[in-house]
Chain A
Amino acid sequence: MDKKLGVYICSGCDIGNSLDVDKLIAVARDEQKIPVCTKHATLCSAEGVGLIKKDIQEQGVNSVVVAACSPRVHFDTFSFDPSVFVERVNLREHVAWSHVSKDEDTQMLADDYMRMGITKATKANPPKPYVENIAKTVLVIGGGITGMTSALEAAKTGYKVVLVEKAPVLGGWMRRWYKQLPQNPPYKNLQDADIERTISAVKTNPDIQVFTSAEIDSIAGQPGMFDVSIRQNGKAITQRTGSVVVATGWKPYDAGKVEGLGFGQFPNVINNVMMEDIAVQGKGQIRRPSDNKEVKSIVFVQCVGSRDKNHLPYCSSVCCLASLKQASYVRASNPDARVYIVYKDMRTPGQYENFYKDKQADNGIFLTKGDVAGVAENPDTSLTVSVKNTLIGEDVSIKADMVVLATGMVPATDSSILNLQYRQGKELPLLKYGFPDSNFICFPYETQRTAIYAAGCVHQPAESRACKDDATGAAMKAIQALELETRGAAVHPRAGDLSYPIFFMQKCTSCKRCTEECPFGAIDEDDKGTPKPNPNRCRRCGVCMGACPERIISFENYSVDIVSSMLKSIEVPEEDEEKPRILVLACENDAYPAFDIAGFNRTAYNSNVRIIPVRCLGSVNIVWIADALSRGIDGIMLIGCKYGDDYQCHFVRGSELANRRMENLKEVLQRLVLEPERVQVKELAIAEYDRIPGIMDDFLAKVTELGPNPYKSF
């Protein structure tokens, strides 16, 4: 379909007071040759929008340039038929509100933004989605309380589920629990674990197919179209599923690794999982392993392994509550029994404080803060626990029949779980201590493998109530991924985006940069190294596009050519005019809004700066830098999110990759006899808009010091 552009310029909100709007029209009409070009005093009014709609209907305009406010406002006001491409030129926040009005430099800035917007609208098209036949089935790996909850919730919503459990029976750890924590107010009374009811609900649900004694041999393909090979009793079974919930749970930390506590050495030193077995076997009677003698005194040692930099640096979250629960077993078993709990901090958040208080009120339970120095066995097979740094200020020894070590939770990610047939590896990338994503507080289900979500104790140490909530959330995301993929739309954080990367394979040199750098493992490669894109794994960040030296990767509405053409449309004044030009490539989620907020606050910054939003700094292709420099632009700044351990980039590695690529660029610049300081990468959080004028002034001062770009006159 032929492009027919219409350009609509608003003069409201100080735009008309600040700029010569007729000059902007001249840029569009005379210079850029766009005949359909109108101005309006309030373009967002019904009348203003009506003008645009009329041109779409009567003149066949199919690409609309709205030169008015930021695209972050009036999004629906300027949304038309999906076949109409809309480009917003931000004359309000980025020009009128942040630069001196009626000024030559401000006008030149606006003129350039008009050129860039028109160039983009000329080159970009509304995307056509990648649509395939999607299997609306969720694969759940792990048949404990988390996996079973995910399966039941997904089935209840109307989706098919394939549930794979390694053990011969469903139920996981909870099948071994004697009692569970109170699930309801007043949060004081223990409840039966009641796992059998859940197991039976799973087994009898016609939409859940259960494979026990089974493991995943391999998962090939892409979301919506995963070919899952399940190995059960030596037999391979193939299933097609659309998304995955990983609920493989946890293992108790090996208490034998913690020295001096006698685990594995003294029979009556046990861990908290063994304590459940004892309670179950004795039907609530707590008898010690060595001689089956009823336990009259017991010490719980908290944080065995947990909160210890030599073992598990994190807190396992549930051990305080578990020990309080097991303390009640002992007290119920023998009303005369004495229970000692030695802790660092008692962690019973939320309403579970009630449960803690209830145990504190029990005069047979003695709680003390302290560090356990060691456990020794006495000749009569009783045990002595030495405690230091207690609240009473002195070291104490406690003699007891049995010691329970509150061992922490280790996420079950050490063995092969998914066996993904992905070029970048078979499992979910792990963040820290064996836990997979998310690194985001705001999006706890973010993951580096599209449509694969972790839940329960493999995700974070948690008690069963929290596991069930997490399981439901993960099931939601797994289902949502299926629905989005069905429409050919991206999942979070660009949920709903219909564009996807298209590869022009004839020019590919099999350099493998795209397959290596994609943060989501979306691109595989064949034996020769030729990339094999998987659009349903893709998150549309454009990191592959930024990586490609041959520039063969493009989106319909975002490409190397589109941005190159935009920056080439900037008018660069001659050297003697002493008007340097700075190009800012800004992350559209954080840096770009920061510039908007600066504008909203009427914070002025240098008007030699031209901003182009990018999907992610990782999508910045080095050729843009080369093009900008050869055009005579004096300096280029990439502004994006924080990278490193606590990265804030929502595409995980985008800003880090951009930084690394710019390091490599420095050598290229030196060969061109251009100073590397002309290109900078800056981290800017969305809330740091106050820093913008300073950052721009400093960079301009640096660029001025270097002198004009020598390529200006070419």
Chain B
Amino acid sequence: MAMTNDNKSVCVIGGGISGMTTAIEAAEIGYEVYLIEQSPSLGGRVAQLNQYFPKLCPPQCGIEINYKRIRINPKVRYFTLAEVERVSGEPGNFTVTLRLNPKYVNEKCTACNKCVEVCPVERSSSFNYGMSQTKAIYLPHEMAFPMKYVIDGTVCQKDQCAKCVAACPYGAIDLSMQPKKLDINVNSVVLATGWSPYDAAKIDNLKYGIYKNIIRNVEMERLAAPNGPTHGKIVRPSDNKEIKKIAFVQCAGSRDENHLAYCSSICCLASMKQATYVRSQYPDADIYIFYIDIRATGRFEDFFTKVQADNKITFIKGKVAKVLEDSQTNDITVVAEDILSGKKIYTTVDMAVLATGMVPNGLTAAMPSDIVYDEFGFAVSDLQTPGIYATGCAKKPADVAGCIQDATGTALRAIQTRVGV
């Protein structure tokens, strides 16, 4: 099967906020766009956030606008649960080979939820970073786009169970579905492959995955989100206890030669934002932020000023050396050197949040020529392969607005590519 273009088309790999933006912006100018996303829904990590800094507004508002822009624009064709196997050809005439992984649910799905009611198998929710369960057949989240259920093929018992097949009134479930190949022909390719949180377990001294009440910033977003595992109530994992004291550990991995030597740019602001989540639920909670430098550039400084005005939020300049756990209470003691006072300080809290950095996601697909990456794995913007452009956090660690600006510009570069140019 092959799809051909009218010589004005772009393939965007990655359906997060950057990829969606590049795709929609190019399509609104009139180009044909193919948007390829490996997970079952568009929206990426931004859809997993509770609020944006500094406005503290829900990302779902802008995402809904973007979903609508895609819905009403026939020039955007999207493929979810799809991977790029290889890109071949040359600028103006690339062939992108897709592998469309089986959803086991076809277009007839109406999202009525009857299948979930009968499904006996549970899986860990990747949307909630494993903090809750879904059934083997599931909708990624209640605003998922496309609003179609999918089956996790790795846990589904398929024909041995097939209860969903009988329960579905619309004949939407096809357990025999196989992966499909699809070739698309495009002028240019955009890599919007995004980022993953740094594997905090690699930071030995911070005991992530060992002490229950140490979580990462991405998990904190899910805890605070109304559609998260606790319906938005921030409680600590070991015993669902409310929070009286909490610590944020900045640069967990970032700015560290042994882990990520670069600065992840957004973690200071993310932690300050999460401090406001805690404050809005716990007016008396003590909040400690351990940092090296607070990096609130541009007008974000206003947000820093606002958070500093909270007299129960304490900023401590000092890198956290280690953490201890009380085996009885599961409380966490954060040990750091307060650089300003020169003293070693011990702060005992109910829960500690690691501000883990951003790691660029690699691309496994074979490319027609080598993409130039820097030593950290970010694609280098000035040394791009002709006709192939990287955008968003594939290029540098950046906040949402920065990614969208970049993705808008990348859309322009992508549509400049024509045969022979």
B122 within 8 A of A: no
The smallest beta-carbon distance between B98 and chain A, in angstroms, is 20
The smallest beta-carbon distance between B190 and chain A, in angstroms, is 13
- What B residues does A354 contact at CB under 8 A? 261-262
Assess whether B62 is in contact with A442, with CB atoms less than 8 Å apart. Answer: yes
Partner of A442 from B142, B400, B406 at Cβ < 8 Å: B400
With known contacts A73-B147, A353-B261, A646-B55, A315–B301 Cβ distance under 8 A: yes
Assess whether B262 is in contact with A350, with CB atoms less than 8 Å apart. Answer: yes
Additional 9 contacts, C-beta under 8 A, given A315-B298, A590-B61, A593-B64:
A12-B170, A185-B380, A306-B301, A309-B305, A347-B293, A351-B374, A443-B65, A476-B408, A685-B57
- What A residues does B342 contact at CB under 8 A? 392-393
With known contacts A441-B57, A687-B60, A12–B297 Cβ distance under 8 A: no
Assess whether B61 is in contact with A349, with CB atoms less than 8 Å apart. Answer: no
Assess whether A686 is in contact with B61, with CB atoms less than 8 Å apart. Answer: yes
Assess whether B298 is in contact with A476, with CB atoms less than 8 Å apart. Answer: no
A678 within 8 A of B: no
B74 within 8 A of A: yes
Assess whether A460 is in contact with B376, with CB atoms less than 8 Å apart. Answer: no
For B263-278 the 0/1 string (1 means CB < 8 A from A) is 1110000000000000
Assess whether A349 is in contact with B295, with CB atoms less than 8 Å apart. Answer: yes
Assess whether A687 is in contact with B55, with CB atoms less than 8 Å apart. Answer: no
The smallest beta-carbon distance between A484 and chain B, in angstroms, is 7
Assess whether A347 is in contact with B295, with CB atoms less than 8 Å apart. Answer: yes
Assess whether A493 is in contact with B65, with CB atoms less than 8 Å apart. Answer: yes
Assess whether A473 is in contact with B261, with CB atoms less than 8 Å apart. Answer: no
- What A residues does B300 contact at CB under 8 A? 315
The smallest beta-carbon distance between A588 and chain B, in angstroms, is 9
A476-B263 Cα distance, complex, nearest whole Å: 29
A432 within 8 A of B: yes
B413 within 8 A of A: yes
Assess whether A597 is in contact with B143, with CB atoms less than 8 Å apart. Answer: yes
Assess whether A441 is in contact with B62, with CB atoms less than 8 Å apart. Answer: yes
Tell me the count of chain B residues lying within 8 A, CB to CB, of chain A: 88
- What B residues does A44 contact at CB under 8 A? 108, 110
Partner of A13 from B50, B74, B112, B405 at Cβ < 8 Å: B112
A690 within 8 A of B: yes
With both beta carbons as reference points, the residue of chain B lying nearest to A352 in the complex is identified as: B263
With both beta carbons as reference points, the residue of chain A lying nearest to B399 in the complex is identified as: A441
A432-B74 Cα distance, complex, nearest whole Å: 38
Greatest chain A CB density within 10 A among B29, B231, B264 is at B29
- Interfacial residues of chain A within 680-700, with CB under 8 A of chain B in the complex: 685-690
A479 within 8 A of B: yes
The smallest beta-carbon distance between B405 and chain A, in angstroms, is 5
A646-B404 Cα distance, complex, nearest whole Å: 20
A362 within 8 A of B: no
With known contacts A12-B112, A73-B111, A445-B408, A351–B262 Cβ distance under 8 A: yes
Assess whether B64 is in contact with A590, with CB atoms less than 8 Å apart. Answer: yes
With both beta carbons as reference points, the residue of chain B lying nearest to A158 in the complex is identified as: B416
Assess whether B380 is in contact with A14, with CB atoms less than 8 Å apart. Answer: no
Q: Measuring CB to CB, which residues of chain B are less than 8 angstroms from any residue of chain A?
A: 17, 25, 28-30, 50, 52, 55-69, 71-74, 108, 110-112, 142-143, 147, 169-170, 225-227, 231, 255, 261-265, 293-302, 305, 317, 339-342, 374-376, 378, 380-383, 396-402, 404-413, 415-416
- What B residues does A13 contact at CB under 8 A? 110-112
Assess whether A353 is in contact with B255, with CB atoms less than 8 Å apart. Answer: yes
Assess whether A469 is in contact with B56, with CB atoms less than 8 Å apart. Answer: no
- Interfacial residues of chain A within 138-176, with CB under 8 A of chain B in the complex: 153, 156-157
A313 within 8 A of B: yes
A516 within 8 A of B: no
A688-B147 Cα distance, complex, nearest whole Å: 20
With both beta carbons as reference points, the residue of chain B lying nearest to A13 in the complex is identified as: B112
- What B residues does A557 contact at CB under 8 A? none
Assess whether A346 is in contact with B73, with CB atoms less than 8 Å apart. Answer: no
A349-B408 Cα distance, complex, nearest whole Å: 21
- Interfacial residues of chain A within 45-84, with CB under 8 A of chain B in the complex: 45, 69, 72-73, 75-76
- What A residues does B71 contact at CB under 8 A? 72, 75-76
A314 within 8 A of B: yes
The smallest beta-carbon distance between B383 and chain A, in angstroms, is 7
Interface of B is mostly: loop
- What A residues does B61 contact at CB under 8 A? 442, 589-590, 641, 648, 650, 685-687
A480 within 8 A of B: yes
With known contacts A349-B263, A349-B265, A470–B380 Cβ distance under 8 A: no
- What A residues does B294 contact at CB under 8 A? 345
- What A residues does B339 contact at CB under 8 A? 369, 391
- What A residues does B383 contact at CB under 8 A? 184
A44-B169 Cα distance, complex, nearest whole Å: 13
For A492-525 the 0/1 string (1 means CB < 8 A from B) is 1101100000000000000000000000000000
Partner of A460 from B298, B317, B340 at Cβ < 8 Å: B298
Assess whether B169 is in contact with A12, with CB atoms less than 8 Å apart. Answer: yes
The smallest beta-carbon distance between B416 and chain A, in angstroms, is 5
With both beta carbons as reference points, the residue of chain A lying nearest to B63 in the complex is identified as: A442
A217 within 8 A of B: no
With known contacts A345-B294, A593-B143, A688–B226 Cβ distance under 8 A: yes
Assess whether A75 is in contact with B72, with CB atoms less than 8 Å apart. Answer: yes
Chosen A-B contacts, 10 in total, with CB atoms closer than 8 Å, are: A45-B108, A186-B375, A315-B296, A353-B262, A354-B261, A391-B339, A440-B62, A473-B405, A492-B28, A593-B143
- What A residues does B399 contact at CB under 8 A? 441
Assess whether B52 is in contact with A14, with CB atoms less than 8 Å apart. Answer: no
The smallest beta-carbon distance between B44 and chain A, in angstroms, is 13
Assess whether A393 is in contact with B341, with CB atoms less than 8 Å apart. Answer: yes
A548-B220 Cα distance, complex, nearest whole Å: 47
A542-B329 Cα distance, complex, nearest whole Å: 58
For A314-356 the 0/1 string (1 means CB < 8 A from B) is 1111000000000000000000000000000111111111100
Greatest chain A CB density within 10 A among B142, B261, B381 is at B142
Assess whether B25 is in contact with A476, with CB atoms less than 8 Å apart. Answer: yes
**8 shortest interchain CB distances as A-B pairs:** A442-B62, A472-B409, A473-B408, A687-B58, A345-B293, A476-B412, A473-B409, A185-B374
- What B residues does A14 contact at CB under 8 A? 112
A186-B380 Cα distance, complex, nearest whole Å: 10
The smallest beta-carbon distance between B42 and chain A, in angstroms, is 14
- What B residues does A187 contact at CB under 8 A? 374
- What B residues does A352 contact at CB under 8 A? 263
The smallest beta-carbon distance between A8 and chain B, in angstroms, is 15
Assess whether B341 is in contact with A473, with CB atoms less than 8 Å apart. Answer: no
A54-B384 Cα distance, complex, nearest whole Å: 51
Assess whether A443 is in contact with B404, with CB atoms less than 8 Å apart. Answer: yes
Partner of B142 from A153, A350, A601 at Cβ < 8 Å: A601
With both beta carbons as reference points, the residue of chain A lying nearest to B305 in the complex is identified as: A313
With both beta carbons as reference points, the residue of chain B lying nearest to A439 in the complex is identified as: B55
